[in-house]
Amino acid sequence: MDLWQLNIFCRVVEQRSFSKAAEAVHLSQPTVSSHIKDLESHFGCPLIDRLSKEATPTHAGRLLYGYALRLLALREETETAMAQHQGKTLGRLVIGGSTIPGGYLLPRVIGRFKKRFPQVMLTLAIADTERIIAGVLEGAVELGLVGAESREKNIQQEILMTDEMRLVVPVRHPWAAKKKIALASLLAEPYIARERGSGTLQSLQESLMRLGHAAEELNIVAEMGSTEAIRQGIKEGAGVSILSTLAISEDLASGRLKALTVEGLDLTRRFYITRHRQRSLSPLAAAFIDFLKENLPNASHR
């Protein structure tokens, strides 16, 4: 067993395909299969189920995958630490962002970071809050930036900045000229919701609970898996929704959408730097956190 074989194994698991994994690591498919067979011989058990249409890990394969991610992350941490010791900032860092920070905050910060440290390789994974936190727990992601708190005991979070959410309506909606509406009006209006697992939905649920209400009281007419889909749904008159103002800043500036508040409903939420409590932070990850705090408006510097 060596780290290169483990890297290939992880690519097979993640791509669910020997051929796609081969493309990812620039090897032939027979070579990839040979490396997996060597690992299976080393551990004395099957690691990949080849009977299904997809290459899926066996129970032993899932166990190995978790440890392999940790070993590969430790390799990257070692490379980075040794470079840091010599006064260099280089290495590879995998960052996860939930929908809003991943789509609207992290890309521009990553661009600036790359200009300062051109030898650094940054990978950004975008998914809902639950999946980013799962990635941190598994070791696939070293740092996450998400819009909700986690109750996982092995997750450590630090507030980075606040985010303002607003009720968003199309420009021809009867509420478009208003600055605020009553909560009872919102509960009766056709509403487009984010999917379960999103930080936006979790923040809204918590705000409603503080007022003695539940998200189930909303008149939900559709669930959509992305902020972009909801934006388009609002424009087409499918319903209203609560979104981050970061995601609709251009629409607000152009007047295509209108944003207002809901009486009594706190729509302020926080973005959290998220990491594994039991794993040491790599020097590169620590440098990126410092850079985040320096380059994002309203970032916490505690």
Rounded distance between C-alpha atoms, residue 131 and residue 191, angstroms: 24
Alpha helices, H only, the chain: 3-15, 18-25, 29-43, 59-85, 99-100, 106-116, 129-138, 183-188, 199-210, 227-235, 249-254, 283-295
Report which residue type is found at 149: E
Residues in the chain: 302
Assigned domain for 285 exists: no
The pLDDT assigned to 118 comes to 86
Report which residue type is found at 4: W
Report which residue type is found at 230: I
The pLDDT assigned to 226 comes to 85
Assigned domain for 193 exists: yes
Token pair, residue 188, equals 């009766």
pLDDT in tens, the chain (302 residues): 789 999 899 989 888 889 988 888 888 999 999 999 999 999 999 999 977 778 889 999 999 998 998 888 788 777 767 766 565 566 788 899 998 899 889 998 999 999 988 888 888 999 888 889 988 988 888 899 998 889 999 999 999 998 889 999 999 999 999 999 999 999 999 999 987 777 778 888 889 999 999 989 999 999 998 889 999 999 999 999 999 998 899 999 999 999 999 999 988 889 999 999 888 788 888 889 999 999 876 666 54
Query: How many helices, marked H, and strands, marked E, lie in the chain?
Result: 12, 12
Assigned domain for 64 exists: yes
Assigned domain for 53 exists: yes
Last residue of a domain, one of 69, 90, 116: 69
Residue linked to tokens 């705090």: 293
Assigned domain for 137 exists: no
* CATH number of the domain where residue 224 is located: 3.40.190.290
Last residue of a domain, one of 22, 52, 69: 69
Last residue of a domain, one of 69, 101, 122: 69
* CATH number of the domain where residue 13 is located: 1.10.10.10
Assigned domain for 290 exists: no
Assigned domain for 254 exists: yes
Assigned domain for 9 exists: yes
Domain count, the chain: 2
Rounded distance between C-alpha atoms, residue 288 and residue 38, angstroms: 37
Query: The domain containing residue 265 runs over which residues?
Result: 162-269
The pLDDT assigned to 51 comes to 74
